[in-house]
Structure 1
Amino acid sequence: MTMSISVNARAWMAAGLVLVMAQASISFAQNSKDPIPPKAPAYFPSVANQYVVRLNHEVPALRTSKAFSGIEDRLGASIKEVLRPDLVLIERRNKETRTSALVSLRKNREVAYADPNYIFQALKAPNDVDYSKLWGMSNVGAMVSTKRGLKGVDISAERAWERTTGSKNVIVAVIDTGIDFTIPDLAPNAWTNEKELGGVAGVDDDGNGYVDDIHGYDFVNNDGDPTDDQGHGSHCAGTIGARGDDGLGVAG
């Protein structure tokens, strides 16, 4: 068995490449008896200076009325849209931090609750032909042989991809049976030792103690060829960093 160190150029946790579809600003609208919506984490982006505000009273139907403009003045904002009689989308008149605006709005006696006009990303599963087989990434309860998987028992990769789809600055070492660098899904993300690639064959060009370790090293045969001789290493490397959404193989 060959053990090698190779790496993926794009990975985050077990998540890799893929996805990012359309962005849409979402306004929360609820029934009057609904509880105050949970606060989204601070890292969620939002439309600058816009907030969804639920009032303790209804907004006048006539925008040109003094009562309507009075509400705007007291909120320090322009009402961009009336989402429901007591729910409005506003834009604050003065530039300020999101935190300070929310503190001000939530202290207002007319306001039941106020939240940023959050921006969420609509995601889709990658189009890789074998992605549906990766129950560890997204378990939808499909049949495997004669048994049905348990829906939701996975690593929630698609939720991780909402945060990031990876970075070329992240290097992951795979200590396994090697990697098949001819696989189209793996080749683009394989780490390359530029000093050895452009160096002299048979010479430790980068002085790290390993000769010709262009993509890693074979510590069993003690050479610079970490090509997979069993298959397991390539499988693991694919889980970590196979190029996704390219219509081929899997996504990592």
Structure 2
Amino acid sequence: MKKHRYFLFAACAALAGCGLFLWMSSAVNRPFAHLDSADLACVTVRLSPPDKTLLIPEPGQLVEYLKDTVIYQRDDSYQDYCGQAVTFSLTMADGSQTSVMAFSPFLVIDGVGYRTKHEPCEALNRYANKLLNDPAAPVILEDPPALAVVSGDTSLGALLGSYQWQRKADGDSFENILSDSPHPLDCGELLSPLDTGEQTAVLRFAEAPDEILNARCWSEADLGSPDAVGQPVVLRGNEIELQPGGYIYEVHAAWAPESGYGGTASYSFYVKSTW
């Protein structure tokens, strides 16, 4: 009788062990275990902050990191957290797309959040930031970068004007965009003045241009008169000399479309200098 009970107990323990194994197998998942570099046609990563997108031409190392990722139960509470999000966009060879956001302790796949193992998720974050700090990493500029004008302790966002821009489309094709805007002197209602006592201002682009082509300015008295003749502004790198008094400034800059994205854009801003 005791022997019978022993075998019954052993059988129950074995069944319980199998159940635990099956539960663990269903609770732990490696969603990219079978991913291969040959499956990928194009890969990009966006880091927020600083809201910058990079092209990953050689995704082999990324594939290895993705293979190591482990997800557990679904959890969409990542939306309540703050911090840097790193989002990889994978375009597969068959044209399908998948997005993977590493936001430890979460991995968000195509908008669905999961609890994840910390180390592989953190490895994805480090990998993306290493690319961000690599000056040779191709930057994807879907649109002309924003410009902030800084003078002393004050700064102001510039108004984007006309631009010609190129974007990479499907395959090897490109999309060319031509956007026209009113003359800066017709944008008085959109230009808030930056007040400064400095003689110079620094142009801080979200992504530095390959070249600042030129800069000119008009007296604030010319607002509403787009036929007024502007005067050239002295440029030293990304620094401009300011005129005393109130002036409307316009800057033209260019980004070489080496990675399939780039073009030229104009920006305008209003500065009142009391030097």
Q: Normalising TM by the smaller chain, what interval?
A: under 0.3
More strand by share: 2
TM-score, reference length from structure 2 = 0.23
TM-score, reference length from structure 1 = 0.24
- RCO higher in 1 or 2 (8 Å CA, sep ≥ 6)? 1
More helix by share: 2
